[in-house]
Chain A
Amino acid sequence: MSLSYLLEQTLNGVTLGGLYALLALGYTLVYGILLMINFAHSELFMLGGYVGLGVLKLLSDPATVKATGLGFLEPIQAFFMSGTVGFVALLVATFGISAIVVGILGMVIERFAYRPLRHAPRLAPLISAIGVSIFLQNAVLLWIDSKQLPYTRADGSAFVTAQTAFTIGTVHVSTMQVFIVVTSLVLLALLDTFVSKTRIGRAMRATSQDGEAAGLMGVNINSVIALAFFIGPALGAVAGVFNGMYYGSVKFNMGFVPGIKSFTAAVIGGIGNLRGAMLGGFLLGIIESLASGFVSNAYRDVIAFVVLILVLIFRPGGLLGEAVAEKV
């Protein structure tokens, strides 16, 4: 139990925390506005990983082009596979396309599965969301692959190789870890600014405080909700691609456990509170990482769930949130 081991586990925890924070934002955005748990969010995270893999293969894997017969992609691939500019463009394209595709899917789900239930009793949208989640998981299982897919080119080389960025003492920090933490922090800061500074952000806050009153003041509630269902899943998709790159594979059921834990993170921070979700994400990542390193790796999920139960019992409002009284 040396200091460097502690440092290493904390570092892993921060990286994991970045992923949780990105996912937790999706839960908290939707919960803040609609007071519903978007159970399908974890599946959108999973789909983000798959879309990202598809884009990476199409743009930088010659074998995929040969197999699919999309010859026109060859010159495009040549650009993306050459030099630093190409590499950065590849990353931007992967994250961008994945975020947009999954974001649109999120809006579609909201339109067809949740919007008709907006005035239904509270359990109805939750059950509907569980249905969407089961559907998406099985769609991937049946129509893509039931096995784990490696996040590599056909020849087994990784799209993004993890080099050591710098070392602290004996602990190596990889570029991937830096990349994940920095990107998630930047995205979180951007979202925070967007919600607190812009006109649309103000509309979102108004809707979350009182949807009906906001509607009377001229806010288009439907588009605000649709926007929340775009941003949340888009961030989730980014986390999904990161997850694939960091852990090296994607699978149809990979979303479930991170999904529940990110919801835990959102609750820890105070659900409905964006900064709380970030704080909760990093906190849970570190707790889980330290617990798996020092207590028991087999029980790491149990520890995360126990944290969830304890937070809900003792501080249901979360660290940064306020206790919400039941409205009569």
Chain B
Amino acid sequence: MGGTKTASTPTNGSKGSTRSKTLLYVGLALLMIIVPVTFQAATGLGFLVRILVVVGIWVLLALGLNIVVGYAGLLDLGYIAFYAMGAYAGVLIGQSFSSVLGGATYWVMLVPAAIAGAVTGLALGFPVLRLRGDYLAIVTLGFGEIVRICLNNNIFGLTNGATGLPKGGDQLVPPFGAIWLQDHVRFDTPIGQFVFSQNLFWYFIVVLLCIIAIIVITRLDDSRLGRAWVAMRENEVAAAACGVNIMTQKLWAFSLGALSGGVAGVTFAYVQQFISPESFTFMESVFVVCIIVLGGMGSIRGVIVGALLIRGIPDLIQGLAVAGVLKLPGSAISMISGYRFLVFGLLMVIMMAVRPQGIIPSSRRARELRPDDERQLEEEDQTMWDVEHREQVSVHNP
């Protein structure tokens, strides 16, 4: 009887925490619907929805790179190349078939963009993934620059150089329903007229993509592949000795990350209706790495928070100030955009010294990044001792 009682207490506790967790998720979901709708309805704030869309694309990018950096422990400083591949593949192929596909162009183009990203990832990964960590970082950086320079120089006459795509006069077809919703869903609210704009449409698409990515990545993390990544990240030699095929696992991580980058790229292209090599510089790659480092390597929640902090908050504050909702002097507005990178640089240094595991660390990753923490080590030793001791007890008892 005593046994049942002790067993029921933790079940109750976990039930309570599940309920509060559900509440939290429902609250978050409501917030994610209410905020953009409010922006859209309020007069003169509609452009903030566009900022949210861009933030969403960055969440998607960061989630993808997080597979490579956070899970597999490979530093990729040229991640933006896959984003660029996805964007250019989606636009170039999409333009040739848009007369046939019409409103489905974007949806169909997700496939070639994802393939373009993944194939580039495999092609780059196959020769370079055997390199040690920091060499890999430099090679990927070089690859990112190669892609950007080639795009900029109008390689094979395809990319239209620095002027970007689509060429003057051409337009990318918006997805099904976007125009219809924009024309038919509109009503007056106390704060202004609500129009179901294309931006809002894109917002929901991007949120959907992010949710899919999160589900896939969570499942991956708990899979055999995810465990192999952790083992490989912690100690490559030991993992190889335990039968993990290092090269295959690395290629999986690299190409899955690249695939996600390609999807983000084509989405970006169709949202912006325009792409040019300027959007794919080394700084953008650093931006994504920065998001992951600040948020917490290997932590999905951390990455989302990082993207919101780095990409979202400064843009939103700036947008609100420009719209006149926040009363900020002009000098402060220009300060936000000017000092942004300076602060990021400093933050990266400080984070590495003070909290290398990030704002919301992944529980597994935190242990690896703070191995010198003596209490942690002691705790680990204690657990090991407990395990051994319990085994002994259970062996002796019967």
| Chain A positions near chain B (C-beta within 8 angstroms) | 35-37, 112-113, 116-117, 119-128, 130-139, 142, 256, 260, 263-264, 267, 298-299, 301-302, 305-306, 308-309, 312-313, 316, 326, 328
Contact = CB atoms under 8 A, between A and B. Distances in A.
Given A37-B137, A123-B75, A134 B345 contact: yes
B120 to A, nearest CB: 14
B330 interface: no
Interface in B260-296: 282, 286, 289, 293
9 contacts: A121-B368, A131-B348, A134-B348, A138-B342, A142-B339, A299-B149, A302-B149, A309-B139, A313-B128
Contact of A116 (B145, B339, B353): B353
Tell me whether chain A's interface is mostly helix, strand or loop, or mixed: helix
Contacts, number: 127
A37 B132 CA distance: 12
Interface in B117-163: 127-128, 131-135, 137-139, 141-143, 145-146, 149-150, 153
Contact of B286 (A130, A306, A328): A130
Contact of B134 (A37, A133, A136, A260): A37
Contacts of A112: 349
B216 interface: no
Contacts of B145: 260, 301-302, 305
Contacts of B356: 117, 120-121, 124
A7 to B, nearest CB: 28
Contacts of B77: 130
B47 interface: no
Nearest to A119: B372
Contact of B352 (A131, A134, A308, A309): A131
B133 A134 contact: no
B194 to A, nearest CB: 40
A328 B236 CA distance: 9
Contacts of A260: 138, 141-142, 145
A298 B135 CA distance: 26
Contacts of B153: 298-299
B347 interface: yes
A173 B149 CA distance: 31
Contacts of B338: 142
Contact of A134 (B127, B139, B146, B286): B286
Contact of B237 (A132, A264, A316, A328): A328
B369 interface: yes
Contacts of A126: 75, 133-134, 137
B180 interface: no
B346 interface: yes
Nearest to A314: B127
Interface residues of B, number: 43
A130 B128 CA distance: 21
Tell me whether chain B's interface is mostly helix, strand or loop, or mixed: helix
Contact of A132 (B128, B134, B345): B345
Interface in B331-358: 338-339, 341-342, 344-349, 352-353, 356
A121 B138 contact: no
Nearest to A296: B153
A73 to B, nearest CB: 31
Interface in B39-80: 73, 75, 77
Contacts of A127: 75, 289, 293, 348, 352
A139 B137 contact: no
Given A133-B345, A299-B149, A305-B142, A128 B134 contact: no
Most buried by B among A121, A134, A142, A305: A134
Contacts of A113: 349, 352-353
Contacts of A125: 352
The 3 A-B residue pairs with the shortest CB-CB distance, nearest first, are A131-B348, A135-B345, A134-B345
A136 B146 CA distance: 25
Nearest to B69: A123
A142 B347 CA distance: 17
Contact of A124 (B132, B135, B339, B352): B352
A177 B339 CA distance: 39
B344 to A, nearest CB: 6
Nearest to B140: A309
A312 B349 contact: no
B343 to A, nearest CB: 9
Contact of B132 (A132, A263, A326): A326
A121 B352 contact: no
B289 A130 contact: yes
A265 to B, nearest CB: 12
Most buried by A among B75, B145, B345: B345
Contacts of A316: 131, 135
Contacts of A35: 134
A263 B342 contact: no
Contacts of A130: 77, 286, 289, 345, 348
A128 B349 contact: yes
Contacts of A117: 352-353, 356
Contacts of A122: 133-134
A256 B289 CA distance: 18
A128 B348 contact: yes
A240 B184 CA distance: 61
A113 to B, nearest CB: 5
Most buried by A among B137, B141, B145, B349: B349
B352 A142 contact: no
Contacts of A36: 134
A67 to B, nearest CB: 25
A312 B75 contact: no
A135 B349 CA distance: 9
A199 to B, nearest CB: 31
B341 A134 contact: yes
Interface string B148-191: 01100100000000000000000000000000000000000000
A309 B128 contact: yes
A119 B370 CA distance: 10
B340 to A, nearest CB: 8
B142 A308 contact: yes
A197 B230 CA distance: 46
Contacts of A139: 342
A142 B145 CA distance: 25
Nearest to A35: B134
Interface in B285-322: 286, 289, 293
A125 B353 CA distance: 9
Contact of A123 (B73, B150, B237): B73
B240 to A, nearest CB: 10
